[in-house]
């Protein structure tokens, strides 16, 4: 039984309806349209060594997402920063995966008018989430290119954070069934777009290439592009054919859930020599080095 007077936040903390609760007790009403219709937006920022990494960029994107979906979280950037900080502070986590969410909320019973709903803001902090385990980070992921097409951008704007993940989930299930570690989806033209929670990159003849449309423009993707520019390495943001991806010299993915993560097999076949490449290693090292840059980090007062 939970101790109401001395709640245990050690496994994570959530902000729900104005209160901080242990993550296991966090919930939303079953009639919230965020649950019923996936009518919500969110963003994820990470904490490493007790500091938020690129929080400003995540807050900016969250605000843009809310405006696009016509949602009002009812809190300012300063409010959100304090709520997220308190979630981390109460949990005591020094490395954390921190999410901010705005749902449509509930409309008056029987109404289908989303304008009548009272939007809700939620947040939580849990231990840092890795998209790849330690072994996969060392030896590289086995990625499958799915036959499942990503939802067209003309239907759901992929540059705006959303929970419309059925295509990603079905593609992932098929990839896992086939023995792969994860999946990357294509668009209706057969171009690589993105995977569940990550952007994709490949290296061809010394040039770093990443898709230019049909995917979320991730904060970590932005960081990778900035790293390439700082290393004076050519970067092309353009359409990427699935066959180019399969025949690349190196492949890696980017996500808040682990930063830059190597891929050494695509569709079961080795990329390059089947080992983590030198370019990928440079990006991994540079990404984590940025976590010591005061300009990109906001320390949390515990």
Instruction: For residue 163, list its beta bridge partners.
Output: none
Residue 240 CA to chain centroid, in angstroms? 21
3-class DSSP state of 91? helix
For residue 125, pLDDT beyond 60: yes
Q: How many CB atoms lie within 10 A of CB 73?
A: 20
Strands (E), 11-83: 13-16, 19-22, 40-48, 51-53
**Average model confidence (pLDDT) across the chain:** 96
Which pTM does this prediction carry? 0.94
3-class DSSP state of 204? strand
3-class DSSP state of 294? helix
42 within 8 A of 102, measured Cβ to Cβ: yes
Q: For the chain, which domains are there?
A: 13-127 (3.30.470.10), 134-291 (3.20.10.10)
Helix (H) or strand (E) holding 1: none
pLDDT, residue 51, reads 98
Phi-psi group of 233: left, alpha or beta (phi > 0 → left; psi -120 to 50 → alpha; rest → beta): beta
Q: How confident is the model at residue 3 (pLDDT cuts 50, 70, 90)?
A: low
Q: How confident is the model at residue 165 (pLDDT cuts 50, 70, 90)?
A: very high
pLDDT, residue 202, reads 98
For residue 270, pLDDT beyond 90: yes
Where do we find the tokens 């060594």? 49
DSSP result, 203-227: EETTEEEE--SSS---HHHHHHHHH
Indicate the angle between helix axes 219-230 and 278-289, nearest 10 degrees. 110
pLDDT, residue 1, reads 44
């Amino acid at each position: 039984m939970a101790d109401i007077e001395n709640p245990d936040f050690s496994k994570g903390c959530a902000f729900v309806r104005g209160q901080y609760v242990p993550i296991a007790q966090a919930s939303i009403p079953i009639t919230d349209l965020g649950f019923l219709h996936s009518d919500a937006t969110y963003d994820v920022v990470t904490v490493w060594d007790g500091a938020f990494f690129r929080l400003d960029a995540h807050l900016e994107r969250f605000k843009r997402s809310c405006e696009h979906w016509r949602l009002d979280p009812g809190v300012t950037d300063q409010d959100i920063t304090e709520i997220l900080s308190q979630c981390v502070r109460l949990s005591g986590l020094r490395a954390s995966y921190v999410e901010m969410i705005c749902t449509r909320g509930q409309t008056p019973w029987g109404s289908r008018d989303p304008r009548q709903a009272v939007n809700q803001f939620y947040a939580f902090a849990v231990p840092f989430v890795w998209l790849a385990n330690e072994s996969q980070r060392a030896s590289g992921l086995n990625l499958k290119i799915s036959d499942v097409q990503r939802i067209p951008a003309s239907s759901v704007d992929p540059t705006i954070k959303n929970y419309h993940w059925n295509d990603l989930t079905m593609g992932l299930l098929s990839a896992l069934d086939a023995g792969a570690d994860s999946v990357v989806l294509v668009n209706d033209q057969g171009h690589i777009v993105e995977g569940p929670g990550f952007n994709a990159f490949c290296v061809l003849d010394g040039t770093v290439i990443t898709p230019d449309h049909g995917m979320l423009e991730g904060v970590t993707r932005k960081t990778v592009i900035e790293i390439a520019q700082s290393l004076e390495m050519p970067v092309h943001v353009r359409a990427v054919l699935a066959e180019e991806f399969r025949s690349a010299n190196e492949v890696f993915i980017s996500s808040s859930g682990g930063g830059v993560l190597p891929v050494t097999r695509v569709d079961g076949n080795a990329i390059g020599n089947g080992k983590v490449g030198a370019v990928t290693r440079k990006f991994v090292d540079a990404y984590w080095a940025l976590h010591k840059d005061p300009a990109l980090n906001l320390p949390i007062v515990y």
